[in-house]
Structure 1
């Protein structure tokens, strides 16, 4: 039976959890599938396209493509989407590194258009609406990259990060030590996400008041 694209992507995701992104080579993937490397290029042009497809598969269940965002509820669904995407990326080893730098696939573009449509009906212009989506997405990617690296390092670290004696003469850092040590990833992620969303409330208000043109261009 001919090799199917879905099978290639599923196998790549399984290998990702076993060997990480640095160990995921097309040669290793081809060997796992029982084919020669050139056979893979019927399904993707290069490793970058494979990573795009893997990123799409990671978030497909968390972010169903048919969802219809409600303009008036944009803060809620933006936050819910970010949380769902974070969970999806954390479910895979190096999930954020796989997703970083990817472009939306053709199958994902209608969902992006639906989000832009809702944000524009809420008061943003297309350029600013896309900036909002990209800003949140890049915050998410950076956050999860650091979160996964921190978790991996913590498992290998001989002693807790920033021991109490290192903070003895640093009262402000000592007071905020839990945040410094990233003891509550969820709360810290949520804080940054809400700061971003509140900032875009101001952008929407400015655009509604400014009339034609793009004040943020």
Structure 2
């Protein structure tokens, strides 16, 4: 009876929030419907009143992480470059909040209607800044994949930390003719490694600067080259 009452009080959002908390404790591989049901004090079938299957649960969790990053178009007076940088940092932070956050989002089958509508608003704002729709989409997609990949590596590296040799540079240097003066070792030493804020910022800036160059190469809208048809079928002479 008590279990049925608790089950009756469940909501979809409660299930997702609890699943995210459990994710932080057990990781994605340890997150099962049975374990989640036990955490909520119900039997597994009670969850299927709110989510049809585990994939829908995982999609809902991924959607919550994306929304928590604060998606949306640029603020008034904010350049698209500053907005993309802010958006990327916020997205990275949101992924890092949860254990296996990047892996969860990268494997989502779909996102919710609110996220999709917000994404469309972002692309519309980018078009207002001079992007074509396809360049806007490719830019956001490239940045999203970059952030996902960086965080996925960070979180994977964190799990493997216990197996990492205490002196990694020395171990690498032993494989190279130049030893501790080999170019790879010097690069690691000077850069502080391939993870962390500085490494992330370098890649992010390269993507944004590359986007600016691609935008500058695009011909202004409404301009046609000789021989290209006008919309009504006429051609320039």
Inter-partner Cα distance in structure 2 for 1:181 and 1:5: 43
Count of aligned pairs: 211
Q: Say if 1:124 and 1:208, in contact at 8 Å, map to a contact too.
A: no
Q: Does 1:20 align with 2:27?
A: yes
Q: Say if 2:60 and 2:111, in contact at 8 Å, map to a contact too.
A: no
User: Out of 94, 97, 114, which is 2:100 matched to?
Assistant: 94
The within-5 A match list for 1:191-202 is: 191-202=202-213
Deviation at 1:179, TM superposition (A): 6.8
User: Out of 169, 178, 194, which is 2:178 matched to?
Assistant: 169
Q: Does 1:204 align with 2:209?
A: no
Query: The residue matched to 2:103 in structure 1 has which SS?
Result: helix
The within-5 A match list for 1:46-85 is: 46-63=53-70, 65=71, 67-70=72-75, 73-85=79-91
Q: Say if 2:131 and 2:215, in contact at 8 Å, map to a contact too.
A: yes
What CA RMSD, in Å, does the superposition of the two structures yield over aligned residues? 2.4
Deviation at 1:60, TM superposition (A): 3.1
Q: Does 1:4 align with 2:15?
A: no
Q: Say if 1:168 and 1:174, in contact at 8 Å, map to a contact too.
A: no
The within-5 A match list for 1:137-176 is: 137-163=144-170, 165-166=173-174, 167=176, 169=178, 171-176=182-187
Inter-partner Cα distance in structure 1 for 2:201 and 2:162: 24
Q: Which runs of 5+ in 2 are unaligned?
A: 1-7, 225-237
Inter-partner Cα distance in structure 1 for 2:117 and 2:223: 26
Inter-partner Cα distance in structure 2 for 1:24 and 1:16: 6
TM-score normalized by the length of structure 1? 0.86
Inter-partner Cα distance in structure 1 for 2:222 and 2:148: 33
2:228 maps to what in 1?
none
1:112 maps to what in 2?
119
Query: The residue matched to 1:162 in structure 2 has which SS?
Result: helix
Q: Following TM superposition, where does structure 1 have runs of at least 4 consecutive aligned residues deviating by more than 6 angstroms? A: none
Deviation at 1:198, TM superposition (A): 1.0
Q: Does 1:30 align with 2:41?
A: no
Larger of the two Rg values belongs to structure: 2
Deviation at 1:93, TM superposition (A): 0.9
Deviation at 1:203, TM superposition (A): 2.0
Which of structures 1 and 2 has the larger relative contact order (alpha carbons within 8 angstroms, sep 6+)?
A: 1
Q: Which runs of 5+ in 1 are unaligned?
A: none
The alpha-carbon distance between structure 1 residues 60 and 69, as it changes in their structure 2 partners (threshold 3 A), is: same
Inter-partner Cα distance in structure 2 for 1:14 and 1:188: 29
The alpha-carbon distance between structure 1 residues 95 and 178, as it changes in their structure 2 partners (threshold 3 A), is: farther
Inter-partner Cα distance in structure 1 for 2:23 and 2:137: 30
Deviation at 1:44, TM superposition (A): 2.0
